[in-house]
Amino acid sequence: MEFKLDLFQTDKDLEKENNFEKTCKISVSKMLPRITLQLPPEYGGLYDENKNTLTYTPEDMYMAAITGCFFTTFSVVSQNSNLQYENIDISASGLMDVLDDVKMMTEISLNITLTLPKGMEKNERKAMKVLEIAEKRCPIANSVKTKIKNTYRINFSNR
């Protein structure tokens, strides 16, 4: 399986004199919208009056790849395990640090909340096993050297 994308700059970006203010676009197919990337504000990238980034950064995309991979892997494992669930919510935080004189994303923490249907308390153990299998099988997480810490919480719906 092969994946492709194109990264390019527009004429508008090329006209900017300050390289910190330049952005680029990523395109993965003509069917999907392009994604704009910039430097994080902490490294000189653009930000608004509240110090919020104006577009996605490579660090955002990296964390999104790890988080999204967990979700899609969980989707496959839960379907194959006949685990019915109502919702999965994942929040992620990443830590950029210097390790052996190299700046890198040293750790990503995923806080995963899985909501099972009301009356399915007997499936809590099965749900935890599915979450753990998804963690072990996520191909993107298995491809990186960043430490990934998953924390799981299982809730039951009130509906």
- DSSP, collapsed to helix, strand or coil, labels residue 8 as strand
Number of domains into which the chain is organized: 2
> pTM for the whole thing?
0.90
Q: Which two tokens stand for residue 57?
A: 């950064």
The pLDDT tens digits for 79-100 are 999 999 999 999 999 999 999 9
100: left (phi over 0), alpha (psi -120 to 50) or beta: left
CA 136 vs. chain centroid, Å, equals 16
Maximum alpha-carbon separation in the chain: 62
Structural domain containing residue 26: 6-56
**What is d(CA 107, CA 63) in angstroms, rounded to the nearest whole number?**
10
Residue 139 counted as domain residue: yes
**What is d(CA 157, CA 73) in angstroms, rounded to the nearest whole number?**
23
Cβ-based neighbours of 23, under 8 Å, separated by 6 or more: 9, 13, 36, 37, 38, 46, 55
Q: Is the pLDDT of residue 54 over 90?
A: no
Supply the CATH number for residue 111's domain.
Answer: 3.30.300.20
**Same-domain check for residues 66 and 34:** no
**Same-domain check for residues 71 and 139:** yes
Which pLDDT band, with edges at 50, 70 and 90, does 53 fall under?
confident
